């Protein structure tokens, strides 16, 4: 039985109900409120899909940034770290995002939970690649990690 939070359409009502129940509640609320689609969200699944789309957008723009950074990098250790992160972000865009989105829409939230948990973990691995170096991807990794963790938490409540 699905335990979705559903409420009549009202500005950010479902955001106010959902975000306090997940990790990073302030990030959840500010990210969702900044997306115009959240105003028409009617369920926690809708919010999960919106956040998956946010992960996709951030990961896609980060892939472009990484390509540029790789072409400019002189340090082989930095290039290697960036290349590893490029693989992680590529897997999120090509695998985790479409699978999570489809799972939430089709009512199979356990798969969205797993894919987004994996996406968040891949950001930890990306950060570790910069051991001893300043990561140029800290804010992007943090955004994706938090958003993916929130989606996983929302999906878990829907199982």
Structure confidence by residue, pLDDT tens digits, 117-153? 999 999 999 999 998 889 999 999 999 999 999 999 9
**Mean pLDDT, rounded, for 36-61:** 95
Mean pLDDT for the chain? 91
Task: Give the integer Cα–Cα distance in Å for 118 and 59.
Answer: 14
pTM greater than the 0.95 cutoff: no
């Amino acid at each position: 039985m699905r335990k979705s939070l559903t409420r009549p359409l009202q500005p950010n009502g479902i955001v106010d109900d959902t975000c306090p129940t997940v990790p990073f509640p302030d990030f959840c609320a500010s990210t969702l409120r900044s997306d115009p689609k959240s105003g028409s969200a009617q369920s926690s699944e809708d919010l999960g899909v919106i956040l998956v789309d946010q992960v996709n957008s951030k990961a896609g723009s980060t892939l472009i940034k990484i390509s540029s950074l790789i072409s400019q990098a002189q340090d082989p250790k930095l290039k290697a770290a960036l290349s590893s992160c490029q693989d992680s972000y590529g897997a999120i865009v090509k695998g985790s995002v479409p699978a999570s989105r489809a799972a939430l829409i089709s009512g199979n939230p356990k798969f969205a939970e797993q894919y987004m948990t994996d996406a968040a973990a891949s950001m930890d691995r990306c950060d570790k690649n910069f051991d001893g170096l300043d990561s140029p991807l800290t804010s992007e990794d943090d955004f994706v990690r938090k958003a993916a963790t929130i989606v996983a938490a929302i999906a878990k409540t829907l199982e």
